[in-house]
Chain A
Amino acid sequence: MQWDLNWFICTLRSSIGKKLIMALTGLGFCIFLIAHLAGNLTICAGEDAFNSYSERLHALGPLIILTEIGLLFFAVAHVFIGAYLFYENFRARPEGYLVKKNAGGRTIGSVTMPYTGLFILLFIVIHLVDFHFVEKTDQTIYQIVLETFSNPGYAFFYIVSMIIVAIHVSHGFWSAFQTLGVSNSEYMSVFRVVSIIISLAVGFGFGILPIYISFIS
């Protein structure tokens, strides 16, 4: 079939195209989250393991920079298109209902998607400032983590954030497959179950870290 640039752009600009970008970038973040979680959990193997994981990761050099640029690009696309979809959806119903009840389809994840998304954006900025752009010359990443989480306020913020990430993922993950059109009546329930499992893993896996750290310190 002839590949037409015009069509390609048109397709991406359509409602389904925009959702496609949301789905692909979202799935990208899911992969990132899982990788990130696996890395973080090395903290349980002790200070040396965690620091060496961090060192080896940074030894990847250009590859890691490329990934970071990729993630940034994904984030920009996900946030801006998400915001635009939110605006379009808001505009699609200028006059709302006096009474509107859930017919049983909406979940806490689906209802809160734009808001959890916004919160996650804030969290990421803070998180990057705290752990990524932090001065790392005179302390190891392990020390930074320990120090940051020793602030109970921050630990609490972090745990809440991870619960919110989990909520976002609980709808986002299966939803991506629905948007990609790989879902059918048989697979759909599988995707929904996997979605819950991943969201629990993310929420629990990340959320447990501050608690674990407070125990070991």
Chain B
Amino acid sequence: MQLDSKIPDGPLSEKWDRHRFELKLVNPASKRKFKVIVVGTGLAGASASATLAELGYEVMTFCIQDSPRRAHSIAAQGGINAAKNYQNDGDSIWRLFYDTIKGGDFRSREANVYRLAQISNNIIDQCVAQGVPFAREYGGQLANRSFGGAQVSRTFYARGQTGQQLLLGAYGALSRQIAAGKVSLFTRRDMLDLVVIDGKARGIVARNLVSGELEKYAADAVVLATGGYGNVFFLSTNSMGSNISAAFASYRKGASFANPCFVQIHPTCIPVHGTYQSKLTLMSESLRNDGRVWVPRSPEDKRPPDQIPETERDYYLEERYPRFGNLVPRDVASRNAKVQCDMGKGVGDTRLAVYLDLADAIERDGRDVIARKYGNLFEMYKKITAQDPYETPMMIYPAVHYTMGGLWVDYNLMSTIPGLFVLGEANFSDHGANRLGASALMQGLADGYFIIPYTIGDYLAQDSHDTVREDHSAFNESSLQVETRIKKLLSIGGKRTVDDFHRELGHILWENCGMTRKEKDLKKAKKLVADLRVEFWENVLVGGSGQEFNQSLEKAGRVADFLQFGELMVIDALERKESCGCHFNEDFQTDEHEALRDDENFCHVSAWEYRGEGSKPKLHKESLEFENVELTQRSYK
């Protein structure tokens, strides 16, 4: 298999325009003859569904929730970047491009990232037209704030619920197309397999989560927008339903999986407080704009925060990184929190937390201003911890948040299976080894509104398709396989619950393949995960039947996939013998404990090809060419 990224020729700033011109078009009258399946209704999926339907394609959209509006994009808090330069502070498409490439530690494609920066401006315009109530200045102009990793104010926001508002905008556009009859919506459906016929993606098998029935859907192309795999760690900021099953089923069918070890650990989450805990809650990174991160200077200092005088506080980010201070990129902020806690300077009952203090900002701007910016975050924090952030500094600790890795896609967002397109967090494309704050929303919407509508046309226009119907033998085979697996899961009748296995898997990965990694630990983890997977298939207890609404069965299938995927993640981490962005291998660091890249040997995307159960996946390398930026050691000092 040869990875062809299909990056167009020409100067960076002209690539996308030129490419759009070169893409083949589908005659408007022919569009309605093409069926497209979109799986997932987050920002990428909803925007893609709506836009493809507007163009005239016949779209079938699937989501696991009872409503498309509940996809996890809804939980994004902070904002969305765009190179509008409304603040006149020197921002430009080039600067957004450069920040994103550098923030990703030079492990993403120049052309993709540049296109993302170009499109960012259209996204804001589109969302405003849809009625997204972005924050405004007194004069009625759009307001901006700055965000981690950037020295300009380019983040647009709607209180602390930007993801919600953007998703509701896309959901509105989707709902409009459903009403127009151009999109058929299938809610509470779990995609369990991808159907590949003659080497092309031609449909899916999905389980109706209410009736338990397996359903088959055929189409001319399949678009996956199923989000990331952060839940492989059990505890993450992802929603409970977020899973990798659709992407992993596609991987098993031949779609390569790129950079699975690139997992972003978000620095500002509410710390873990018990074994029963089901998920971690993120406090928007925007808090770092006004908040100061600190721990006591001395590990012995167990006083409450208000009794620790200024001189005995260690504002470690401000001291180590005077230029960026509290606004260093997420990976740097996270790792430094871990370092402080490892030195015993952590705070709170578990000693696995640092303070995020807004007292200075409250004093400077007044309580009202701070409440307007962060009121809902403060309320959320108070609800969970029963502490009032207006009175006492918040406690935060890093948590798994976003996965840069995902299915490999070319410049057209098509995977290694022709006809299978992957959007948003589910693909690997734009964030390299680390994503900057407020860039996930940007990418999801760029993919869905402004990229897939053109590139899918190119595929459909040039490929001659036979009509495939749901009674094709490949659908039956696929459905049978899925059914066999469900029966197997139900028949084991072991002694441990699905959650129990999931929790253990998460623990193994967090300890050994989390914020920092070591070859020794990774090797250990690989074995532990493999053993756990064996035990799972012998000792899991699911309960109920397949012919009904069965949430335990849903989870079981997802955890089974996570158990397989977890190993792939560890294999990828072992293979990448360097540190870059979020992948911090302790064996590769600078004297100042920063990630030490090895551009000579690892300036590539690692794309893994499935080779059957039990065999080691095959590594393909797509080397990354940098013609426009100089590869530098990231420094935020």
Contact flag (A, B; Cβ within 8 A): no
B binding-site residues for A, Cβ under 8 Å: none
